[in-house]
Amino acid sequence: MKKQIIALTLLLALGAHAEEKGFKSIFNGKDLTGWAGPVQNYQAVDGTLRCKPGKGGTIYTTEVYGDFVVRMEILLPKGGNNGLAIRYPGKGDTAYVGMCELQVLDNTSPKYAKLHPAQYHGSAYGMFPAKRGHLKKPGEWNTQEVTVKGSTIKVVLNGETILDCDLSKVEKSMAPLAKYKGRTRKEGHFGFAGHGAAVAFRNVRIKRLK
């Protein structure tokens, strides 16, 4: 029995290793090396990347990505608001000039009760709404995986697919579609778009897709 347990443990470890093959850490847990933008508004705390309270702006990787998969853990404080900058050009509002901003939001906060459906966590801001009900409570860590391939984006939150969309096929957007100028971008930086709350990220790693 003991040998079987050891064998199973090894198989699980090998499986986990295979799942991570090709992924590269883009946050070293200590400082903002490899990041650009208003990095003074963020800080490394106990291995996490955090937006400073009351601060924000979009920080982004110095490297540029086309198609990729990014994995991370996310901790939202009560009322937390941030975003994932997808194929960001390096300046401007990523929700419009980047391919999109994927919302990072405490959906349970009363102050967000009357938002547009495409403004909640995991949504392609203003274009495609994500399914709700799969975030953990504020103060608990969530796991999230985002796959960006061509004009498509897929978001898996805590093992559940909450968004699977094609930005070339937006039917109804929050603002006039012409405002989302970056949605057809084929490459750009990956980043975090802070909005004043101390949202934390850790174990952030990315894999390029051919």
**Domains of the chain with CATH codes:** 24-208 (2.60.120.560)
Residues 6+ apart with CB under 8 A from 72: 143, 144, 201, 202, 203, 204, 205
Going residue by residue through the chain, which has 210 residues, state the pLDDT in tens, using 9 for 90 and above.
555 555 444 434 444 456 889 999 999 999 999 999 999 999 999 999 999 999 999 999 999 999 999 999 999 999 999 999 999 999 999 999 999 999 999 999 999 999 999 999 999 999 999 999 999 999 999 999 999 999 999 999 999 999 999 999 999 999 999 999 999 999 999 999 999 899 999 999 999 998
pTM of the predicted model, to two decimals?
0.90
Q: How far apart are CA 199 and CA 4, in angstroms?
A: 42
How many residues comprise the chain? 210
